[in-house]
Amino acid sequence: MSTELSPHVSDISPGRGALRPARSWLRSDAPSRSLNGPWRFRLSPTASGPEDFAADGFDDHGWDSIPVPSHWVLEGDGAYGRPIYTNIQFPFPIDPPHVPDENPTGDYRRHFDVPADWSDAERVVLRFDGVESLFRVWVNGSEIGSASGSRLAHEFDVTSAVRTGDNVVAVRVHQWSAASYVEDQDQWWLPGIFRDVTLVARPVGGIEDVWLRTGFEHGAGRAGRVEAEITADAAAFPVTLRIPELGVEHVWATPADVAPLDVAGVEPWSAERPRLYDVTVSTAAESIALRVGFRTVEIRGDRFLVNGRRVVFHGVNRHEAHPERGRVFDEEHAREDLARMKRFNVNAIRTSHYPPHPRLLDLADELGFWVVLECDLETHGFEKLDWTGNPSDDPAWREAYLDRIRRTVERDKNHPSIVIWSLGNESGTGGNLAAMSAWVHARDPERPVHYEGDYTGEYTDIYSRMYSSVPETEQIGADGARSALLNCTPAQSARQRTKPFLLCEYAHAMGNGPGAFDQYEALVRRYPRLHGGFVWEWRDHGILATAPDGRDYHAYGGDFGEVVHDGNFVMDGMLLSDDVPTPSLHEFKAVVQPVEFTFDGEKVEVTSLRHTADTSDLRFRWRFEHDGTPVASGELEVPVVAAGESAWAPLPPVAVVPDAETWLTIDATTAVTTSWAPAGHVIATAQLDCSARRPVPAVRSRDDWRPGDGNLSLGTAEFTGGSLSRLAGREVTGPRLELFRAPTDNDESPSDGVEDSDDSIAGVSSADLWRRDGLDRLTTRRVLVEHTTDALRTLDRVSAANSVSWVMVESVWSVEDAELELRVEIEPSRGWRTVWPRIGIRFELPDGTAAVDGATWFGLGPLESYPDSLRAARTGRFSSTIGDLSVDYARPQETGHRSELRRLTLVSGDAEVLRVEALPDARGRRPGFTLSRHTPQQIALAQHPFELGESTTSHLIIDAAQHGLGSRTCGPDVWPEFALRPEARTIRLRISTAG
């Protein structure tokens, strides 16, 4: 006999009672009423409790009011509990199917009216589009049924329970249930009725469901094909199909007459040209409106094709997330979200890891995306138990698994944007997943089945992996490769190599990073079996909160007092929580741009990398700049280039100025305004350096050095003890050696010892190694001070406590060509055991009479750049405030580095404070710069932006080199080419002041 307080929360069946079979989400003219709006609400700490609240006459006036849809933990300013964030681990003991008695439970009630004319309806249906996690429903005191599957739609037949006039619906929602074990996605746990609730009157003679499979015969002109599946009683016929734009009006007199229909004059649907046609399917009692796109999906050999052409997914994993509403859908925000994706060259979405609100897929159809539609399934927490007890291979859970995939496919089967079905995510493997795949193949033979965890390819059509390294991905794509694949025998490896390959997750975009977008893209260009992938992920999931000082910030795991949480791992998007694109999104856009430019002498080759569209919708604009100043511009005459083809165009003549850098920039822009971008929006850019090479001024040799105390003046510079103290009367100190950066999230991630750098130690992060070696707390011992009549030389030994290694730093100040020059030679000793974060020098500029509040520079910009993230940067002249030079990452970290600096001017308002010219070293390498109100050490101590206090000093760091970014939070470390080894470097600067 069970002693469980509420045994129904441990019920693994997907639903009970008057639950209707899954069907499409359709726009019908049948009468309906939204039940969104204010509901009466109370929260209980446990799942038990009297059910008298569901009674018709229950007095709920003492209850609170809560909006539906919403999450109760985001309402009431914390009165109803707080959000919980976990990645892999469950926030409760693993004891399937049981959950703790401490199970927050929300009781909802509202009244609704049923019109008198609804008495003629065949049935009345109550639809819930999303409830987390288990819910039970009563109407007028009668229990209707229960359901689980938080991101899935459920319809209940309430015909026998409703009455004309006033009615009351009551819903009990449990935060935890058996279903929670299969919804362990990397996201916030946010309970409540968070999607729409709708009451529908289904008419006699209506259409229960419609599926229009609309194929395109790409090899036979503009021929389309409609295969209709109509679910309706025989008495509902005749059924009429109308496609007005194509002149189609076809009548099926009986169910037996429903047969495929050929349609002429069709334009195909693709993610680039999302051509939709308005369709109606009608009976005498009901009309259904759909928007269809004609396209054919197939796998041919190891190629994934749509309309006969290979698809390359430049995609993102997208959760439904908003800093105030959580997963509550807002169509205006979602439309702008998808339009922003289009503007950044994103062409695909994986709905990680559940079906989104159905209107999101309407927008994907309209705007144009390839969609991998994923089922609401993840059991990741069982990995910690080596998958012992995992429901994926337990027959008792099979119906729950099948119900989830049925509700996924049936709801969304009409969308042309959906080209792949995915069984779920990180749920191990087992017979239940195989059964799901078999059901999908039987139900929809056209679209292939994806599931990353099927490593050996037993039941899926696509080989999929997460975070495989560049070398491993190349071995997957290369013909003739024989290496064993992950968890595969040689025979299984060979089988997987016969399939299209997809990186369902790669390039973990957490904090400042990732690097190496371009390396993966190069492989996709080289090996046709590789079909691109999906960055993890689109946006940060921060929840808007108020800091102790009253400022708003975006909270992450642990900020709500959770006992079990996974910190800021939920902040891993290319878009910040407040919709601000990060530099990584700009880098992604540049790497995957759909037009490629190849310069050759006085002409340029323009290649279209598009799937379908030619370049007739684009314009090509050029401009010449001398040291970043525009001198000429115009439009490049480029023939229309078909998808996958190339064409040559002549370049305009250029006047090269001997004393300036001359750069040619070509932009491919939209010719007209679209639904996602204005005319003139740049989709692709290339630059060509046309400069005449100028010699770098030689270093003047000196042999008249003599010892001194280092207290002297050189031009407008004053030195104390050999260190700069004032410049043109302004307090300026430095330079001091800086080897530390505030660790990025990738820097803080422990190594797994696999495919990381040679310096990696399993289980230890790069940041831990830097702190071990004292790079964050360097101390200096001055070894030597010498000077001449117009120069000063110092030699410093820099090291950290308990360190056996050191760095010798020689600094030479001199007056060259009437300008103050600084040359710094940095020479590390032997014995350093790890990569360095940076090699640079730091100057301090206290506010004094005029605070440094911005900069203009000639170099790479406008956004930050790092060795393995440079493709979005272009050479030019840029300006920024000091605040905008940094990115407001959710956890403060290294930010703001601009590479390949030529000239820099620090400003206060409109006034120039300091000018710096950076000279290349003997190998032609130019330094970068960072300008911030805080030191790397101060930034490293903060866990949130609001913890960085006010500063009255600006910090300028000139970096000879920076370590790369990598993707180590969930993927490969920095590629060896971009890892910064301790090495000798030279920095040469010429410094002057305003006036």
Catalytic site positions: 426, 505
Beta bridge partners of 287: 282
Q: Is the omega angle on the peptide bond into residue 83 within 30 degrees of 0, that is, cis?
A: no
Cα 71-74-75 angle, rounded to 5 deg? 90
Q: Could you tell me the two tokens for 615?
A: 């370049």
Q: What share of the chain is helix, strand, coil (3-state, %, to 5)?
A: 15, 35, 45
106 close to 80: Cβ distance less than 8 angstroms: yes
Place of tokens 């807002």: 330
H-helix segments, 695-849? 745-748, 766-772
* Distance separating alpha carbons of residues 864 and 869, to the nearest angstrom: 9
DSSP run (H or E) holding 230: strand 223-231
* Distance separating alpha carbons of residues 409 and 422, to the nearest angstrom: 10
Q: Could you tell me the two tokens for 406?
A: 């049925």
Q: What is the 3-state secondary structure (H, E, C) of 431-474?
A: HHHHHHHHHHHHHCCCCCEECCCCCCCCCCCCEEEECCCHHHHH
Q: How many CB atoms lie within 10 A of CB 801?
A: 8
Beta bridge partners of 840: 738, 959
Q: How many CB atoms lie within 10 A of CB 988?
A: 24
Cα 124-129-134 angle, rounded to 5 deg? 100
H-helix segments, 819-957? 936-941
Beta bridge partners of 282: 240, 287
Place of tokens 């209709």: 228
Q: Could you tell me the two tokens for 4?
A: 């469980």
* Distance separating alpha carbons of residues 473 and 716, to the nearest angstrom: 57
* Distance separating alpha carbons of residues 661 and 688, to the nearest angstrom: 11
Helix (H, G, I), strand (E, B) or coil at 287: strand
CB neighbours of 326 closer than 8 A, spacing ≥ 6? 70, 71, 74, 83, 188, 190, 194, 543
Order of strands across the sheet with 779-787?
A: 706-707, 779-787, 791-799, 807-816, 819-828, 985-992, 911-919, 903-908, 854-861, 874-881
User: In angstroms, what CA-CA distances link 422 with 187, 412, 461, 488, 760?
Assistant: 18, 13, 10, 21, 35
Transcribe 246-258 into DSSP letters: GTEEEEE-SGGG-
User: In angstroms, what CA-CA distances link 572 with 317, 400, 437, 541, 714?
Assistant: 11, 31, 30, 8, 49
Q: Is the omega angle on the peptide bond into residue 637 within 30 degrees of 0, that is, cis?
A: no
Closest CA to 196 of 333, 31, 39, 14: 39
User: In angstroms, what CA-CA distances link 634 with 212, 411, 604, 620, 735?
Assistant: 48, 50, 15, 9, 45
User: In angstroms, what CA-CA distances link 7 with 95, 98, 893?
Assistant: 14, 9, 47
349 close to 341: Cβ distance less than 8 angstroms: yes
Closest CA to 723 of 800, 699, 732: 732
